[in-house]
Structures are given as C-alpha cells and as structure tokens.
C-alpha cells in the first residue's frame, strides 16, 4: 500500500503557488536544481515536505502537533484560485464571475463567514484583470486576441477586419444584433470623431431605434470607406438567412 500523501496545488493571495497536503498548507521555502523544499504555512511549525522538480512527492518530515489543520482556509484558497483563473481567461463581468463561482464552490459555513463579499473582492480582481488586458495599440498593425473575437457564448463577434494601404477597418456585431438590424425598416448611424485611437478616424454605431446593432471602427471618413462598410453589412444577411432591405 502506498504511503504517498494526497496533495494538490493552489495559489495564495499574492498569486504564489502553495502545496496543500492532508489539510495543511505548505509554502515553497527553497528551490534547488532537483528538489523543492516546502514548509508549513504556520511559522511556528517545523513540518516540511520535499518534492522533486516535477512536484512528485519525495519525503515528509515533522508533524503539526502544535496547531490544527485549516479546512476553511483551504476551501477559500481553492475558491480564490478558481476565480483568478476565470478573471484572466474570461470576459464575463467580475461581479458575475464571483457570484457564480461562490455558488459552485459550496463553501462550508465557516468559510462563508470569512470569505470576502463581491464588492470587497472587486478591487483586487480588477487589478488582476487589468494586468492581463492587452494594451491599447499604437498602430493599426496589431493582433486581436481570440477572447475579443468572440462573445462570452463563444459566438462570432468580429465580422470584418480589412487592411488597405496601412488603413484598417473593423466591424463588430453579434448574431442577435445583426438579426435585429436586418429586420429593421429604418436604421440610424451615430458616430464620434474624438474618442478613438489616433490611427483610426472615427467610431460609428448602427442602431435600430435605440438598440446598438453594429460597432464600426474606420480609418477615414471618405465615401469609399463608408461604401465598403455598407457593402460588407449587406453581405451578412446571407449568413443568417435573412434579407436586409431598409427603407
């Protein structure tokens, strides 16, 4: 029968990796070429675990006779680690992520009594999100990450991305927005020439009444650019099996 203890890994508040074993938390104390030395998170405890460089268990020394395990603390560590992963990889609002993960975690009453509220956690989670958010581009030559090409339901959001003579035009819209737009008999265009990156020239919205149906970033204000944008939108109804015939 194997005496290898059950271990998992999580993250502490400072995003540092910790080892969780038999109800106790260990922090990395020393890293050598072949061995990792983990020490109990309680500073008064001398219990240690050694793993190899691939985190495979080697040996455990000492015990936790001077303190109890902290299952509630471990629950919260796992909960926070899952939230941070979602904040980094998803575009879902942080408040919604926090509430959904809190329901999934099914924390004990002890853990629930000490875990931060959604409002209190937003500040640190927003900071993590900002660190992972791509910086605003300074030229028109940039890659758009997949996260921003798709909706949170993994449906297409970037409809059109064309570069011509160092000028780039972009059209964003969801399938539902397009269906609303194509059903409309009258459409409105609302543009701004001040709030946009310097290498673009304007930001335009197509609207059906007061409902935004498409978002367009254009590299100029010429008639040919607007014509190109409208021609592209006229091709989209075929993709959703609709007709686009506004008055």
Domains and CATH numbers, the chain: 7-61 (2.20.25.240), 71-132 (no CATH), 146-235 (no CATH)
Q: DSSP state, 23?
A: T
Choose among 190, 196, 226: nearest CA to 208. Answer: 190
* Token pair 């875990």 in the structure block, residue: 115
Q: What share of the chain is helix, strand, coil (3-state, %, to 5)?
A: 35, 30, 40
- Residue 9 near residue 20, CB atoms below 8 Å: yes
pLDDT tens-digit readout, 168-218: 888 898 888 888 888 877 777 777 766 666 556 566 666 655 678 888 888
What is the three-class DSSP state of 160? strand
Instruction: Give the pLDDT confidence score for residue 88 in this predicted structure.
Output: 83
**3-class DSSP state of 170:** strand
Mean of per-residue pLDDT scores for the chain: 82
Q: What is the pLDDT of residue 199?
A: 58
């Amino acid at each position: 029968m194997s005496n290898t203890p059950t271990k998992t890994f999580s993250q502490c508040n400072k995003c540092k990796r910790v080892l969780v074993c038999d109800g106790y938390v260990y922090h990395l104390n020393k890293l050598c070429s072949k061995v990792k030395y983990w020490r109990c998170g309680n500073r008064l405890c001398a219990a240690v675990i050694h793993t190899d460089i691939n985190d495979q268990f080697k040996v455990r020394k000492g015990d936790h006779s001077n303190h109890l395990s902290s299952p509630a603390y471990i629950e919260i560590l796992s909960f926070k680690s899952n939230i941070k992963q979602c904040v980094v990889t998803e575009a879902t609002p942080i408040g919604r992520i926090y509430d959904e993960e809190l329901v999934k975690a099914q924390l004990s009453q002890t853990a629930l009594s000490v875990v931060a509220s959604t409002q209190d956690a937003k500040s640190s989670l927003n900071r993590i999100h900002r660190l992972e958010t791509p910086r605003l581009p300074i030229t028109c030559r940039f890659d758009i990450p997949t996260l921003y090409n798709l909706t949170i339901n993994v449906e297409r959001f970037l409809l059109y991305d064309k570069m011509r003579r160092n000028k780039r035009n972009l059209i964003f819209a969801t399938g539902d927005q397009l269906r609303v737009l194509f059903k409309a008999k009258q459409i409105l265009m609302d543009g701004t020439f001040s709030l946009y990156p310097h290498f673009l020239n304007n930001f335009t919205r197509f609207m059906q009444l007061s409902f935004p149906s498409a978002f367009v970033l254009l590299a100029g204000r010429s008639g040919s650019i607007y014509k190109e944008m409208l021609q592209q939108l006229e091709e989209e109804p075929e993709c959703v099996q609709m007709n686009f015939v506004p008055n």
